[in-house]
């Protein structure tokens, strides 16, 4: 149900240091008109972890007059129009998350909280927010270019499978009727759009900007693009993807589309893409290149207030509370995990800030009145990829490999994590900082190449528990996930336990697992549950796979085919069966036993229902109030650390 964003009287007065959000803010600055308006589905938190705000601050720093409208009503144009029509363009973003993922769970049920809204309130953004906001802006500002951006637009730029609709949908650019789509981390691209428009170009003339997609209409433009089509990998020209008509009816065509797209994600060698949608088409320029360290430093040095807009009063934004005392050190990820879409948005080339830039931000943070003395994270998508990249420039220019670490770590990848160890040391030695934690995920196969990092984590940077993501133990499932063998995880556990013992600390690992990933069914999940029980690992961090747009796992989920190999893949689609798989991995939780029994019956493993030591769960007549306690996923180091001797401690993770 549509509800208005709470407005306090303070929202009607200018808020010093924040971007303009009201007409009063414009008058306070002496502005009669904006150059660029940003519309976002998130609450306005002036913090670099909020993508639309990052872009807005970047444009502001280049002399543009930028205003922001957060979470506008969508039954009227009044909210989006309150700052007036911008001179150059209106930028539209659904926010930091895809709006459907933000609203619905893996079981397709409404979430009880929107972490990007005041006090977690739900109902403050529409479904498919990019489409709804773009159409609102077109109604409010006739003739003003509408530019889509953000993660929702980025991951829905080509024809894509929508899990919540259980259907293939068109490019969001066409459904939104926008003029241009900026994909990836779009600060520089947005600036180039503004620069060209300010110089007198029409938005229809912006056809050569990396990191953009635009609609093609008219037979002449389409025929000209098709004349440059190519079929061989590496051949110069335009890669024509299977059409929407094909991919929406033929899973094999969808799989071919996914493979072709994935091979064109390296900005150093990617070619333009073209996809037909009935009488229209969308042309995709190659991805924008990564930011340099100097550009990253300048971006994060912008004057963020690092707090929610004062109009929210005492309301808390849950997502901000998570990141308020964290620092971003990197963006991008070369892991290439099948279930993750980070690389399709942030890129496969890791971009890192300088240590001086990170420390300077920590100093600014430490001077804030409400600073607790704890830096909760120094990282990014993967913490220990800081300053890691290919050591062979020519090989990097030619490479079309989807992961630098799977199936093995590439010989050209620099894996020295000394720079990250040194960065953590410098942050914890900063005046006013008492503790520094690493909350970002740690890639265990890389960490094993850096004993110094494991020692530093165990001694200084783990607040009792460290998140790691083995995801599964079965070799074939891990191959589909593009994750390292479970033996890598076991070795990391043993070394972390040893390091914790040397540091005199009783610490825990919090392992994450995925239930229902393509390639995984009842048999391997039963095997994983037994593997967990043998180690007495009781995971709370079990996720049902959510097929998010554009990931490899989503393509496998929809088609039943591995897009990179063409192999058939087992897929569990029934929602109840997915819950059953998750229940198996939470074998210790009495609340999950009914579903787990059903799962074992489905797997033909009722021999595992009983009171014998080898059994997974007790029979249905088990008395309530058993001595079996619901533990958590924290696997602590015993007195003699061993990867196979993990124990868990009761309590909440």
Where is average pLDDT lowest: 34-43, 544-553, 621-630?
621-630
- Give the residue from 213, 237, 265 where a domain finishes: 213
321 DSSP assignment: H
Q: Which tens digit of pLDDT belongs to each residue from 105-121?
A: 999 999 999 999 999 99
Q: Which band of pLDDT confidence, cut at 50, 70 and 90, is reported for residue 344?
A: confident
pLDDT for the residue numbered 527: 97
Percent of the chain surpassing pLDDT 90: 85
Instruction: Pull the structure tokens for residue 355.
Output: 């240590």
CB atoms within 10 A of CB 296: 21
Strands 146-149 and 351-352: unpaired
Q: Distance from CA of residue 20 to its chain's centroid?
A: 28
- Give the residue from 213, 231, 250 where a domain finishes: 213
pLDDT for the residue numbered 15: 53
pLDDT for the residue numbered 541: 85
What is the C-alpha separation between 476 and 524, in angstroms, rounded? Answer: 9
Q: Which residues of 367-391 are buried (b: 16+ CB within 10 A; e: fewer)?
A: eeeebeeebbbbbbbbbbbbbbbbe
Is position 89 within any domain?
A: yes
Q: Is the pLDDT of residue 653 over 70?
A: no
CB-neighbour burial class of residue 294 (10 A; exposed 0-12, middle 13-18, buried 19+): exposed
Q: Is the pLDDT of residue 409 over 70?
A: yes
What is the C-alpha separation between 379 and 400, in angstroms, rounded? Answer: 26
Q: Which tens digit of pLDDT belongs to each residue from 563-597?
A: 999 999 999 999 999 999 999 999 999 999 999 99
Is position 619 within any domain?
A: yes
Provide mean pLDDT across the span 230-244.
89
Q: Which tens digit of pLDDT belongs to each residue from 302-312?
A: 999 999 999 99
Instruction: Pull the structure tokens for residue 252.
Output: 């094999």
Give me the numbers of helices (H) and strands (E) for the chain, helices first please: 25, 25
Provide mean pLDDT across the span 500-529.
95
Q: What is the phi/psi pair of residue 414, to 5°?
A: -70, 125
Q: Is the pLDDT of residue 342 over 90?
A: no
Q: Which tens digit of pLDDT belongs to each residue from 246-295?
A: 999 999 999 999 999 999 999 999 999 999 999 899 999 999 999 999 99
Where is average pLDDT lowest: 6-20, 59-73, 203-217?
6-20
CB 342 within 8 A of CB 381: yes
Q: Closest Cα partner for 212 from 275, 161, 272? A: 272
Angle at 422 between CA 304 and CA 420, to 5 degrees: 70
Give the chain's mean pLDDT: 91
CB 511 within 8 A of CB 490: no
Task: Tell me the three state secondary structure of residue 93.
Answer: strand
Is position 402 within any domain?
A: no
What is the C-alpha separation between 192 and 198, in angstroms, rounded? Answer: 10
pTM of the predicted protein model? 0.91
Provide mean pLDDT across the span 607-617.
95
Place of tokens 């739900």: 122
Is position 304 within any domain?
A: no
Angle at 15 between CA 14 and CA 17, to 5 degrees: 130
What are the residues facing 471 on neighbouring strands? Answer: 513
Q: Which tens digit of pLDDT belongs to each residue from 177-211?
A: 999 999 999 999 999 999 999 999 999 999 999 99
Is position 613 within any domain?
A: yes
In which element (H, E) is residue 176 found? helix 172-176
> Which CATH number characterizes residue 72's domain?
3.40.50.280
Extract the runs of DSSP E, i.e. beta strands, from 28-83: 36-40, 45-46, 66-70
Q: Which band of pLDDT confidence, cut at 50, 70 and 90, is reported for residue 228?
A: confident
When divided into structural domains, the chain yields a total of 2
Contacts 24+ apart (CB under 8 A), 569-574: 569/480, 569/518, 569/519, 570/518, 570/519, 570/520, 570/521, 571/518, 572/516, 572/520, 572/521, 572/522
CB-neighbour burial class of residue 461 (10 A; exposed 0-12, middle 13-18, buried 19+): buried
Q: Which tens digit of pLDDT belongs to each residue from 313-330?
A: 999 999 999 999 999 999
Q: Which band of pLDDT confidence, cut at 50, 70 and 90, is reported for residue 631?
A: very low
Provide mean pLDDT across the span 616-628.
66
> Which CATH number characterizes residue 605's domain?
3.30.750.200
pLDDT for the residue numbered 16: 62
Is position 599 within any domain?
A: yes
Q: Which band of pLDDT confidence, cut at 50, 70 and 90, is reported for residue 644?
A: very low
- Give the residue from 149, 181, 213 where a domain finishes: 213
Q: Which tens digit of pLDDT belongs to each residue from 422-466?
A: 999 999 999 999 999 999 989 999 999 999 999 999 999 998 888
Is position 339 within any domain?
A: no
Task: Tell me the three state secondary structure of residue 330.
Answer: strand
Q: Which tens digit of pLDDT belongs to each residue from 147-186?
A: 999 999 999 999 999 999 999 999 999 999 999 999 999 9
Is position 511 within any domain?
A: yes
pLDDT for the residue numbered 205: 94
Q: What is the phi/psi pair of residue 464, to 5°?
A: 95, -25
**Which residue range(s) make up the domain with 561?**
462-653
Place of tokens 């609709």: 165
6 DSSP assignment: P
Q: What is the DSSP string of 575-625?
A: HHHHHHHHHHHTTT-GGGHHHHHHHHHHTT-GGGBSSSTT-SB--TTPPSS
């Amino acid at each position: 149900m549509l509800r208005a964003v709470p407005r306090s009287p303070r929202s009607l007065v200018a808020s010093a240091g924040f971007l303009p959000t009201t007409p009063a803010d414009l008058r306070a600055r002496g502005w009669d008109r904006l150059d660029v308006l940003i519309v976002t589905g998130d609450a306005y938190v002036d913090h670099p972890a909020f993508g639309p705000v990052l872009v807005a601050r970047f444009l502001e720093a280049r002399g543009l007059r930028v205003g922001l409208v957060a979470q506008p009503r969508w039954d009227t144009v009044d909210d989006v129009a309150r700052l007036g029509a911008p001179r150059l363009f209106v930028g539209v973003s659904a926010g930091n998350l895809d709006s459907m993922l933000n609203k619905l769970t893996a079981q397709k049920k409404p979430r009880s909280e929107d972490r990007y809204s005041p006090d977690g309130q739900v109902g403050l953004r529409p479904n498919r927010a990019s489409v709804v906001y773009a159409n609102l802006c077109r109604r409010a500002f006739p003739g003003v270019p509408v530019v889509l951006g953000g993660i929702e637009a980025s991951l829905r730029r080509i024809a894509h499978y929508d899990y919540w609709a259980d259907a293939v949908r068109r490019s969001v650019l066409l459904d939104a009727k926008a003029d241009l789509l900026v994909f990836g981390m779009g600060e520089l691209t947005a600036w180039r759009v503004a620069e060209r428009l300010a110089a007198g170009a029409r938005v229809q003339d912006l056809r050569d900007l990396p990191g953009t997609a635009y609609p093609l209409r008219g037979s002449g433009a389409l025929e000209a693009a098709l004349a440059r089509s190519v079929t061989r990998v590496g051949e110069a020209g335009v890669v024509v993807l299977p059409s929407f008509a094909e991919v929406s009816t033929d899973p094999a065509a969808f799989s071919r589309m996914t493979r072709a797209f994935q091979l064109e994600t390296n900005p150093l060698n990617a070619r333009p893409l073209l996809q037909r949608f009935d009488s229209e088409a969308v042309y995709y320029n190659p991805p924008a290149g990564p930011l340099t360290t100097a550009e990253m430093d300048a971006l994060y040095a912008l004057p963020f207030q690092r707090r929610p807009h004062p109009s929210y009063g005492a309301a808390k934004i849950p997502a901000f509370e998570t990141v308020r005392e964290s620092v971003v050190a990197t963006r991008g990820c070369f892991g290439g995990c099948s279930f993750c879409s980070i690389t399709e948005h942030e890129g496969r080339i890791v971009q890192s800030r300088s240590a001086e830039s990170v420390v300077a931000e920590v100093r600014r943070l430490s001077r804030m009145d409400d600073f607790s003395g704890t830096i909760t994270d120094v990282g990014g998508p993967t913490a220990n990829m800081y300053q890691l990249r290919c050591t062979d420039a020519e090989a990097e220019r030619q490479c079309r490999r989807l992961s630098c670490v799977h199936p093995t770590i590439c010989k050209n990848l620099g894996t020295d994590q000394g720079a990250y160890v040194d960065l953590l040391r410098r942050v914890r030695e900063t005046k006013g900082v008492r503790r520094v934690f690493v909350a970002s995920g740690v890639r265990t196969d890389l960490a094993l190449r850096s004993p110094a990092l494991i020692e530093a984590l165990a001694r200084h940077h783990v607040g009792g528990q460290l998140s790691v993501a083995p995801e599964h133990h079965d070799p074939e499932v891990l191959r589909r996930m593009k994750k390292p063998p479970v033996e890598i995880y076991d070795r990391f556990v043993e070394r972390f336990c040893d390091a914790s013992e040397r540091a005199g600390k009783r610490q825990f690992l919090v392992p994450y697992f995925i239930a229902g990933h393509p390639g995984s069914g009842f048999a391997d999940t039963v095997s994983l549950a037994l593997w967990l029980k043998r180690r007495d690992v009781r995971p709370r961090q079990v996720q049902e796979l959510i097929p998010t747009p554009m990931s490899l796992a989503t393509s496998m989920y929809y088609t039943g085919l591995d897009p990179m190999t063409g192999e058939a893949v087992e897929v569990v689609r029934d929602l109840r069966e997915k819950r059953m798989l998750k229940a198996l991995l939470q074998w210790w939780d009495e609340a999950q036993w009914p579903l787990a029994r059903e799962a074992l019956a489905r797997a033909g493993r009722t021999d595992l229902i009983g009171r014998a030591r080898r059994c997974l769960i007790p029979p249905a007549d088990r008395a309530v109030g058993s001595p079996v306690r619901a533990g958590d996923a924290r696997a602590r180091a015993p007195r003699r650390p061993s990867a196979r001797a993990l124990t868990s401690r009761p309590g909440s993770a």
